[in-house]
């Protein structure tokens, strides 16, 4: 199969799958009834997606898992978790985590 046709068919297939998956809830409306357990589980989907994105960035360096103490990103993430557990402040997590990251990065590079 020609490479261009393959790429365009992949783009159209993903577009169709996304359109069907996202519009089905709107088109079906009240006729679509999800079990209560599914509805309660879906409340955690955005947090799970965000955690997956953040964990990947914190723990991997150049495509390899880096859990060493020379990785300032996961250490700063640990500091942010501790700040959140102590204060439950989103602004505190952002400010404290970034401050810890900058300090650790300066420490390890200097």
Residue-wise pLDDT tens digits, 63-105: 899 888 889 999 999 999 999 999 999 999 999 999 999 999 9
Burial of 59: CB neighbours in 10 Å, binned 0-12, 13-18, 19+: middle
Q: How would residue 1 be classed by pLDDT, with cut points 50, 70 and 90? A: low
pLDDT of the residue at 35? 87
Overall domain count for the chain: 2
Question: What pTM was computed for the model?
Answer: 0.60
- Sorted by sequence, the CB contacts under 8 Å of residue 37 that are 6+ apart come out as none
Same domain, 29 and 39: no
Rg (CA), the chain: 21
Q: Give the number of other Cβ atoms within 10 Å of residue 72's Cβ.
A: 19
Same domain, 55 and 102: yes
CB distance 55 to 74 below 8 Å: no
Same domain, 23 and 41: no
Q: Give dist(CA 85, CA 101) in Å, integer.
A: 18
How confident is the model over 21-73, as pLDDT tens digits? Answer: 888 778 877 777 888 998 899 899 988 998 899 889 899 988 899 888 889 99
């Amino acid at each position: 199969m020609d490479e261009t046709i393959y790429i365009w068919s992949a783009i159209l297939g993903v577009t169709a799958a996304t359109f069907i998956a996202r519009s089905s809830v709107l088109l079906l409306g009240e006729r679509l009834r999800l079990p209560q357990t599914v509805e309660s589980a879906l409340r955690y989907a955005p947090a799970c997606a965000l955690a997956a994105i953040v964990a990947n960035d914190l723990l991997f360096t150049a495509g390899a898992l880096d859990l060493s103490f020379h990785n300032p990103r996961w250490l700063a993430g640990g500091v942010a978790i501790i700040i959140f557990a102590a204060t439950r402040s989103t602004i505190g997590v952002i400010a404290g985590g970034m401050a810890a990251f900058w300090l650790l990065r300066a420490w390890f590079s200097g």
